[in-house]
Amino acid sequence: MTQILESTLFGLLDPIYGPGAPAQTARYQTALEAFARRYGPGPVHLFRAPGRVNLIGEHTDYNHGFVLPAALDKDILLLARPRPGHRVRLSNIEPLFEDAEFELGESIPPAPRGHWSNYLRGAAQMVAAQAATPPPGLDILVAGTAPAGVPRGAGLSSSSALVVAMAVALAHLAGWQPERASLAHRCADAEWYVGTRGGIMDHFAALLSRRDHALFLDCRADAQGSYHTRHIPFPATHRLVVVDSGLHHDNVRGEYNRRVAACRAGVGLLRRSLPDITHLRDVQNIPWADLAGQLPEVATPADLARQGIDLGEIPGLDAQEPLRVAACCRHVWTENARVLQTLDALAANDIAQAGRLLHEAHASARDDYAISTPELDFLVSTAETVDGVAGARLTGAGWGGCVVVLVAQEAVGTLQTQLAAAYAAHTGRTPAIFLCQAGPGAGPVASLSV
């Protein structure tokens, strides 16, 4: 096996990970060695795409609202070597994920639902359709193993990181250089390939983030198709701590799609009095009390269809299962306001107010959007009893995964100890707890020889 000098790797990784670079070199070495074992010696291009934590703004993105995520220094590595023809061979450093192959083109048949390669197929199909020069066939190895990788199913967006890593790699190797925001948007559409009507937040966070900053994103494009983003510096006195409940629900895509449907139902019903609206974002400046009376507590897709409300295409929606229309719309309406208030609080360095907003966002996600779990509720309420904690909330889609805690720098150690002990006593589980070291967006890392 060819030795890549540690000093070479360190020089490449320092601009990406800063003080965390030394801890990354062994992981890169391992990935490069695995690539050489799988595909033989020769050139290799290295790419990375980070996971993200969302500070606030949950389930607002597909309603054209506001979000405030930050990329993590936990990322997925994708190693690629061009090969003759159009075949893509995929391998994963984790044996759980079997090898796969497909032919590059504008219409790539999916593997069975749930297969990891679908994230890469969706991205490949998108790049093949968009790039002026078709991307080359590739031999690929994916390395995303935790703890340095993005934990899977934890609401930290490992799946979107996979899509983005593949898109970045193929675009780079095809010589296609779209604007980052445009690539992010296309990646979000590409992820629909796997069967979820998801939003754009994760792909924007993975591509446009900046070290030590959160990314404010207005999820509605302007008339020219551009998205408004702003990099928001983290407060110097506080840290974001991410706590993984260890409970990951794989089978939540149906629930996610039902929330999308509830929001679309709200829009359909409100259009009777506000015919120009297309998304919940459009009613943000109307008092909630004026909207509430037009929205039923529950309605089934079948009821809504009878009333002429078109929910559009949503995979796997059961026509008879009730949607909680009013509560879901209320969450989105209040959450959008909270994101903007959080920006103001951070700009004024009013951390207590930012913390209160996180607390309210959790209550709204739990009670109105109904996406929390007893374990997430326990982590949030326990964290909020620790001195120095400003606020906490679940982060990501919900139904398990992580909470994020805004905590004074000097209280980080106490928070970790107290939370780990309380959670273990309550559930018998040890939570993974780590600091959010907000890192830069996805991109090529280097071209080397192994």
Residue 40 burial by Cβ neighbours in a 10 Å radius (0-12, 13-18, 19+)? exposed
Q: How far is the CB of 218 from ligand NG1 (least distance, A)?
A: 14
Which CB atom, from 91 or from 364, has the smaller least distance to ligand NG1? Answer: 364
By CB under 6 A, residue 155 contacts ligand NG1: yes
Q: How far is the CB of 50 from ligand NG1 (least distance, A)?
A: 12
Which CB atom, from 90 or from 150, has the smaller least distance to ligand NG1? Answer: 150
Select the residue whose beta carbon is closest to ligand NG1 and give its number: 198
Kindly identify the residues of this chain, within the stretch 306-335, that bind ligand NG1 according to CB under 6 A: none
User: CA-based angle 196:201:202, to the nearest 5?
Assistant: 75
| Single residue of 135, 149, 199, 301 touching ligand NG1 by CB under 6 A | 199
For residues 175 to 194, the per-residue mask of contacts with ligand NG1, x marking binding by CB under 6 A and - elsewhere, is ----------------x---
- Give the DSSP letter of residue 18: G
Residue 81: enclosing H or E segment and its boundaries? strand 66-83
In sign, the C-alpha dihedral spanning 53, 56, 62, 66 is negative
Axis crossing angle, helix 325-347 with helix 253-270, rounded to the nearest 10: 90
Which CB atom, from 191 or from 244, has the smaller least distance to ligand NG1? Answer: 191
Q: How far is the CB of 397 from ligand NG1 (least distance, A)?
A: 3
Q: Is 202 a catalytic residue?
A: yes
Give the tokens for residue 169.
Answer: 């790699």
- Residues 6 or more apart whose Cβ sits within 8 Å of residue 223: none
By CB under 6 A, residue 202 contacts ligand NG1: yes
* Of 53-61, 344-352, 416-424, 434-442: span binding ligand NG1 (CB under 6 A): 53-61
Name the E strands within 33-65: 43-56
CA distances from 284 to 281, 291, 397, 412 (A): 5, 10, 22, 36
Is 450 in contact with 46 (CB distance < 8 Å)? no
CA distances from 208 to 201, 229, 395, 419 (A): 10, 9, 19, 32
Q: Are strands 229-233 and 389-395 parallel, antiparallel or unpaired?
A: unpaired
**Counting runs of H as helices and runs of E as strands, what totals does the chain give?**
13, 12
Cα distance between residue 5 and residue 13, in whole Å: 12
Marked catalytic residue, from 73, 202, 244, 368: 202
* Of 54-62, 175-183, 282-290, 310-318: span binding ligand NG1 (CB under 6 A): 54-62
Give the tokens for residue 69.
Answer: 């995520």
- Residues 6 or more apart whose Cβ sits within 8 Å of residue 303: none
- Phi and psi at 369, nearest 5°, equal -85, -15
Which CB atom, from 317 or from 411, has the smaller least distance to ligand NG1? Answer: 317
169 Rama class: left (phi>0) / alpha (psi -120 to 50) / beta: alpha
For residues 382 to 401, the per-residue mask of contacts with ligand NG1, x marking binding by CB under 6 A and - elsewhere, is --------------xx----
**How many residues interact with ligand NG1 (rule CB under 6 A)?**
15
Which CB atom, from 28 or from 119, has the smaller least distance to ligand NG1? Answer: 119
| Single residue of 17, 62, 119, 193 touching ligand NG1 by CB under 6 A | 62
Which CB atom, from 180 or from 331, has the smaller least distance to ligand NG1? Answer: 331
Residue 406: enclosing H or E segment and its boundaries? strand 402-408
Is 167 in contact with 47 (CB distance < 8 Å)? no
| Single residue of 24, 196, 257, 342 touching ligand NG1 by CB under 6 A | 196
| Single residue of 145, 157, 257, 342 touching ligand NG1 by CB under 6 A | 157
* Of 13-21, 56-64, 111-119, 339-347: span binding ligand NG1 (CB under 6 A): 56-64
Q: How far is the CB of 196 from ligand NG1 (least distance, A)?
A: 5
In sign, the C-alpha dihedral spanning 248, 252, 256, 259 is negative
Cα distance between residue 395 and residue 401, in whole Å: 8
Q: How far is the CB of 124 from ligand NG1 (least distance, A)?
A: 17
For residues 343 to 382, the per-residue mask of contacts with ligand NG1, x marking binding by CB under 6 A and - elsewhere, is ----------------------------------------
By CB under 6 A, residue 257 contacts ligand NG1: no
By CB under 6 A, residue 151 contacts ligand NG1: no
By CB under 6 A, residue 61 contacts ligand NG1: yes
User: Which amino acid is it at 22?
Assistant: P
User: Which amino acid is it at 15?
Assistant: P
- Give the DSSP letter of residue 219: S
Q: How far is the CB of 160 from ligand NG1 (least distance, A)?
A: 5
Which CB atom, from 97 or from 192, has the smaller least distance to ligand NG1? Answer: 192
Which CB atom, from 69 or from 440, has the smaller least distance to ligand NG1? Answer: 69
* Of 59-67, 307-315, 339-347, 380-388: span binding ligand NG1 (CB under 6 A): 59-67
User: Which residues make up the interface to ligand NG1 (CB under 6 A)?
Assistant: 58-59, 61-62, 155, 157, 160, 191, 196, 198-199, 201-202, 396-397
Active site residues: 202
